[in-house]
Chain A
Amino acid sequence: MATTRGAAVRYESVQKSYDGVSLVVKNLNLDIPPGEFLTMLGPSGSGKTTCLMMLAGFEPATHGEIFLNDRPINNVPPHKRGIGMVFQNYALFPHMTVAENLAFPLQVRNMGKAEQEEKVKRALEMVELGDFGNRRPAQLSGGQQQRVAVARALVFDPELVLMDEPLGALDKQLREQMQYEIKHIHENLGVTVVYVTHDQTEALTMSDRVAVFNDGVIQQLSSPDILYEDPQNSFVAQFIGENNKLSGKVVEIQGEECRVELDDGTQLKADKVNVGGVGDRTTISLRPERVEFDTHDAMDNIMNGRIEELIYLGDHIRVRMNVAGNDEFIAKVRNRGEKRNLSVGDTVPIGWSLGDCKALDPVA
């Protein structure tokens, strides 16, 4: 990361309601240090976009305060916040050329003509669109428009850039390419970025930290690896990556471990992450790639599963099986080239270690 010239953002007990009956954002507290790339991830209606819009100034907070570099900004109108923003459909002004679009934020700041031109040129070069200044947005491809939108949000050197699902309209390949480009621009400039998306891959690829939103509450705020490895609750486990659910009842707690009895009577050992006391219901979360077929007695958990379906995916084989009455149980077998005797209908032993198996809050 280069020189940090990003801004610090802080949400303090922020609440938001549109109708006065229900809360869209429930008591949000969030600290974003300067230069961080923070992603707000969540399904639609989870409150992530509302949080972004409150920060941008397009929605007033119903309660609480938002700080920008320790300055409360609730009463600062959007145009005085100095925040760059990239919109979902780019919002490039169709009646202006690319260069005029880029010069717009400079013009409203009454910057000198020569300086404007210089900055516009630099911004265009940054996104590798040096020759496109005189085109209209409609004459550009989706990816090019996207880059112009990013350049426009950055051309006036904001300390904070907000991005509202900026890659949603692009096809898969272009989206991946743009993810890296945005990440590199962030790394080079050192601005703070708050990024909103519902695509977990995007969040994991780009972010320093990810805030997973659901139902107006941040479910977990942590770096991508922790988010994947140590989900704090069933929602996060389910939303990030692929996940197997096994529901049961806590029968014994020993320090950080617990013993869970599944509905068919099998007992498993699991990390006690988010359970109440003995007798409470819980949902066990287990990543498919952590399921082993080569079981040995030293494994913490071993049980039998019946193979329902085999899908060959090249680098791995996806095995759908019925485990403890759950026939959506997925296991991934790495393709090591050796012949493995798996066939539909077989009942085979599977196992995994205690640390890969998290006892979380129960899911209905």
Chain B
Amino acid sequence: MSDTTSEQVLTTQDGKPLKQALASALRREKMRALLLIAPLLIFILLTFVAPIVDMLFRSVENSIVADTLPNTVVAMQEWDAASGNLPDEAVFAALYDDLGVAVKEKTHTRLGSRLNYEKTGMSSLFRKTGRRVKRMDEGGPFKEQFIKADKKWGQVETWATLKTFSPRYTSAYFLSAADAQLTPEGVKMKPEEQQVYLFLFGRTLFLSITITVCCLLLGYPIAFLLAALPLRTSNLLMILVLLPFWTSLLVRTSAWKVLLQQQGVINDFLVWTGIVSEAGRLVMINNQTGTIIAMTHILLPFMILPLYSVMKTISPTYVRAAKSLGANDCSAFWRVYFPQSVPGIGAGAVLVFILAIGYYITPELVGGTSGIFISNRIAYHISSSLNWGLAAALGTLLLVAVMVLFMVYDRIVGIDNVKLG
């Protein structure tokens, strides 16, 4: 009997295969679960994932040249920039046709702004040519007319730039974000006086790590105290820890200005006590010190909260046990308490580091020139220069850098060794 059942397919009472019946029963469960998370899923997809994907896409997207000057791009395919000669009349004629349409749709100036990121002067070239193109003789020849309109059309570099950036996808933004550039001759590093992004990436990482370490050094004892105190006292202290959240970020940052500036409260006090001389007032703001102090203060609760919630779960009997086994206060702490609080340190450090690396308001206000982050440049390219492609590339690189750090962290500490409580 048992032999046959193991061969047979088990069925339900009405003859359906058991496996199938189980799968359909589970499918209903799964559908229900999916329905429950659907609102959040749709919300996240629409408001978070989609914009990010769109932003990442912008870092390589470059169809503006091909869309605005379709005929010119096709006509230029034959032309070799390395030859040193200008493109022939057919290309100029195509340009005339394209610009005629572009001027009507007013897209030529937009193309000018785009190409101006790569080569200075393109902006005015397209604006100026746009005005002139209406008055050009339809019969040609166009080469002379264009060169007359602006002598830049007679320069090979102008055409080389146009050709270099005519593909619909480009690595130019990423190269730019890494202080390199795409030239008609290939990829080159930017001249030294224009290299800034790699340096800023490095500084952002360095400052974020410093801030994380500061938060840990300041937050650990507080969290330890909070976890050790009776609940009533610790709740009161917890309110103090959370208090900064209740005031506006700008107010807090401005308060640091009042405190830290050279004519500020701290310096006044130091001069009054004679610790520093009137001429030797400390520079604590508009530099890295200012950024580190203000951001450590702002991010401190994000370190304290996970630390506290992990420490709260560490029973005081462990330390007692260690002491009863002969460990003094110091080794009881380091060998027994501290290792158990590591998941809290992990969570707090990751949280603070990730928040720090993307901050830009505080560094902008108190960082001067030496305390600004890569995010400040991203913000600049989003809102001022409108070079969204470069901003997207910088953002993508930042994202990749964080992910790599995360993997390293996973290797060293282990991602499952992170606990929020």
Contacts and interface: CB of A to CB of B under 8 A. Distances in A.
Determine if chain A interacts with chain B.
yes
Interface of A: 56-58, 77-85, 87-89, 91, 93-95, 104-105, 108-109, 152-153, 156, 162
A105 B325 contact: yes
Given A85-B324, A87-B321, A108-B325, 6 more contacts: A78-B324, A79-B324, A79-B326, A81-B324, A87-B320, A108-B328
A89 B317 contact: yes
Interface of B: 315, 317-318, 320-329, 331-332, 335-336, 339-340
B199 to A, nearest CB: 41
Nearest to A83: B324
B196 to A, nearest CB: 45
A163 B329 CA distance: 22
A93 B340 CA distance: 9
Given A87-B321, A89-B315, A91-B321, A82 B340 contact: no
Contact of B336 (A56, A82, A93, A109): A93
Contact of B325 (A89, A95, A152): A152
B89 to A, nearest CB: 79
Closest A-B pairs by Cβ, 8 of them: A105-B325, A91-B321, A85-B324, A78-B323, A91-B317, A95-B339, A108-B327, A79-B323
A104 B331 CA distance: 10
B340 A95 contact: yes
Contact of A108 (B315, B320, B331, B339): B331
B340 A58 contact: no
Query: Secondary structure of the A side of the interface?
Result: loop
B322 to A, nearest CB: 7
Contacts of A162: 324
B325 A104 contact: yes
A94 B323 CA distance: 16
Contacts of B328: 77, 79, 108
Given A79-B324, A85-B324, A152-B325, A93 B332 contact: no
Nearest to A105: B325
Contacts of A84: 324-325
A104 B335 contact: yes
B389 to A, nearest CB: 48
B340 A87 contact: no
A42 B69 CA distance: 94
Given A79-B328, A95-B339, A95-B340, A104 B317 contact: no
B317 A79 contact: no
A95 B342 CA distance: 10
Contacts of B331: 108
Given A79-B332, A85-B321, A104-B322, A91 B327 contact: no
Nearest to B335: A104
B149 to A, nearest CB: 76
26 contacts: A56-B324, A58-B320, A78-B320, A78-B324, A79-B323, A79-B326, A79-B329, A79-B332, A83-B324, A85-B324, A89-B315, A91-B315, A91-B317, A91-B318, A93-B318, A93-B321, A93-B322, A93-B340, A94-B340, A95-B339, A95-B340, A105-B325, A108-B326, A108-B327, A108-B328, A152-B325
Nearest to B336: A93
Given A87-B321, A94-B340, A104-B335, A79 B315 contact: no
A57 B329 CA distance: 13
Contacts of B320: 56, 58, 78, 85, 87, 91
Contacts of B322: 93, 104
Contacts of A80: 326
A264 B331 CA distance: 68
Contacts of B340: 93-95
Contacts of A88: 317
Pick from A58, A78, A95 the residue with the most CB of B within 10 Å. Answer: A78
Contacts of A79: 323-329, 332
Contacts of A57: 323-324
A104 B332 CA distance: 10
A85 B320 CA distance: 9
Nearest to B337: A93
Nearest to A149: B321
A91 B319 CA distance: 9
